[in-house]
């Protein structure tokens, strides 16, 4: 994929040139300008540098949009591998993510920073043909490839060329960490080699990666849990419905999150290629260090406030306790946003907004049988959410509503995760990040594992398990929640191929416990 679709390839050059032409003519419109501005803010937040230095802010934004579109088209080819894309309407639904919603796949990037290519007719830019030509050309370049059994990480090499400082580790090591150190492959009665860290997997075992990048740890966890559930006789449909509650992640990098969502789908395998009930892709664009708190003068058990550059957005607590509500109930607001826009030709803005909010309030306080969220909100809870809905509808009239809806749905994730907490936590990061995430997201008696520099791991190893990786990643080590132990991983017969599974690599790697 890197040779065929990376920088220097004909399709990369063609598509980025067309995207640049679209951006040059649409960059002044509110939906495009807002997404570009927030992407810039995100880049600085993640990488600590001005995007004007890398290599030019617009150029990098175009390159990342290209990769995000490639991920969406790849996902479409994977979830319906035997059905050709039917035409222009479906292509546009793929890039604005409506296609995946229709297939019962939620939280796949609706309204995100890279959705700017889907231009609304109200801006009268006359770019529809160029947008379609751009996406069609990329889809045709993908057409010769068979994605039926595509594996997670298919586009990660392209991502690392866009974001060269992103963390990386071989697949087998990531699988070792989640299977052996965190026990996600534990299975009583298994005839696999017992280790001091492997245990039978608890029925409620779940895992969070609070800095998931492109989702490598998440995919390793999905694979380990899937095998364990199948070994215990689990039904494949139950596996699909349970996995989004068991393996979840977030990251601050919008492009990494777009690829992590693709990789999560690929890790679920043929389960998402069949008819299935609605399912969320549980990967969120959020900063693990920023946990939304209750608004001023509001009891902690009533609401949280999501703070954004566009203002604060309160959410009633049921939406925090059940993230499906963020997708299902708050996501339905897009219908009402469009309704307000349509009413502007015959009503004032205030009248149009109030009319659709009255209808939305009725929806919120009514039972919703045969949906994932059948319970109604109480009038008080609905009033809290209506404050957020009012702000989002007004932002939509300005042209930015779907962006801020996406932001609110995503950056609420740290509040969701800190309330439920997890028995297992895994990530790549610093020792300070290890401490912070353990305190915010790990259950009492839970187990966390984090890849970090060997110097940081050595400084924080008191009372914890330290696994040296000199023969694998010379500058890194693994720090694991206690008891205090020292161990190291040693390849026994030369380098292990990076893309090997742990099942294939474990005979070539020795775990040495230091006394």
Strand (E) or helix (H) holding 131 = helix 128-142
* Alpha carbons within 13 A on the beta-carbon side of 508: 16
At residue 199, the pLDDT reads 39
At residue 120, the pLDDT reads 86
CA distances (Å), 422 to each of 226, 232, 246, 440, in order? 18, 22, 9, 10
CATH number of 171-289+417-514: 3.40.50.150
At residue 200, the pLDDT reads 40
At residue 54, the pLDDT reads 60
SS3 334: helix
Separation between Cα atoms, residue 293 and residue 261, nearest integer Å: 27
As averages over each run of 10 residues, the pLDDT of the chain (515 residues) reads 93 97 96 95 84 72 97 97 92 95 93 93 90 96 95 95 86 96 66 38 81 97 89 82 94 97 96 91 97 82 92 94 89 92 92 96 93 90 96 94 94 95 96 96 96 94 94 94 92 89 92 83
Axis-axis angle for helices 10-26, 57-79 (nearest 10): 120
- Number of neighbours of residue 358 by Cβ within 10 angstroms: 11
At residue 201, the pLDDT reads 46
């Amino acid at each position: 994929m890197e040779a065929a679709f990376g920088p220097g390839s004909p399709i990369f050059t063609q598509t980025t040139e067309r995207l640049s032409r679209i951006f040059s003519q649409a960059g002044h419109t509110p939906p495009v300008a807002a997404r570009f501005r927030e992407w810039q803010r995100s880049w600085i937040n993640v990488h600590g540098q001005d995007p004007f230095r890398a290599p030019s802010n617009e150029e990098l934004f175009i390159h990342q949009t290209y990769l995000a579109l490639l991920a969406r088209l790849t996902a479409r080819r994977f979830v319906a591998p035997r059905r050709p894309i039917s035409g222009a309407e479906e292509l546009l639904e793929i890039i604005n993510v409506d296609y995946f919603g229709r297939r019962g796949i939620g939280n796949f990037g609706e309204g995100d920073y890279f959705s700017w290519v889907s231009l609304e007719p109200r801006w009268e830019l006359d770019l529809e043909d160029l947008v379609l030509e751009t996406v069609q050309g990329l889809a045709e370049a993908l057409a010769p490839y068979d994605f039926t059994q595509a594996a997670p990480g298919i586009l990660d090499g392209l991502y690392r060329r866009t974001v060269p400082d992103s963390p990386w580790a071989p697949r087998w090591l990531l699988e070792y960490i989640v299977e052996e150190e965190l026990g996600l492959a534990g299975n009583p009665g298994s005839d696999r080699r017992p280790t001091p860290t492997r245990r039978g997997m608890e029925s409620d075992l779940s895992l969070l990666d609070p800095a998931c990048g492109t989702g490598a740890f998440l995919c390793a966890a999905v694979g380990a849990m899937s095998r364990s559930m199948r070994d215990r006789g689990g039904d494949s449909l139950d596996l699909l419905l349970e996995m989004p509650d068991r393996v979840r992640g977030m990251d601050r990098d919008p492009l990494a999150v777009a690829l992590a969502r693709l990789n999560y789908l690929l890790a679920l395998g043929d389960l998402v290629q069949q008819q299935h009930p609605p399912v969320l892709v549980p990967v969120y664009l959020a900063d693990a260090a920023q946990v939304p708190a209750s608004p001023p003068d509001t009891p902690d058990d009533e609401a949280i406030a999501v703070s954004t550059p566009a203002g604060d957005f309160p959410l009633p607590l049921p939406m925090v306790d059940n993230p499906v509500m963020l997708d299902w109930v708050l996501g339905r607001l897009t219908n009402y946003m469009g309704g307000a826009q349509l009413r502007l030709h015959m009503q004032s803005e205030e009248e149009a907004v109030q009319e659709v909010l009255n209808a939305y309030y009725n929806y919120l306080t009514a039972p919703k049988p045969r949906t994932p969220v059948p319970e109604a909100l109480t009038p008080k809870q609905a009033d809290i959410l209506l404050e957020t809905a009012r702000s989002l509808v007004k932002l939509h009239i300005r042209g930015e509503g779907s962006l801020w809806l996406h932001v609110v749905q995503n950056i609420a994730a740290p509040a969701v995760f800190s309330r439920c907490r997890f028995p297992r936590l895994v990530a790549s990061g610093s020792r300070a990040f290890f401490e912070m995430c353990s305190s915010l997201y790990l259950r009492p008696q839970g187990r966390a594992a984090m890849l970090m520099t060997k110097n940081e791991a050595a400084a924080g190893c008191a009372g914890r398990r330290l696994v040296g990786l000199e023969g694998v990643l010379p500058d890194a080590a693994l720090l694991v929640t206690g008891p205090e132990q020292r161990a190291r991983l040693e390849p026994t017969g030369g380098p292990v191929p990076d893309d090997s599974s742990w099942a294939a690599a474990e005979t070539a790697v020795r775990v040495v416990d230091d006394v």
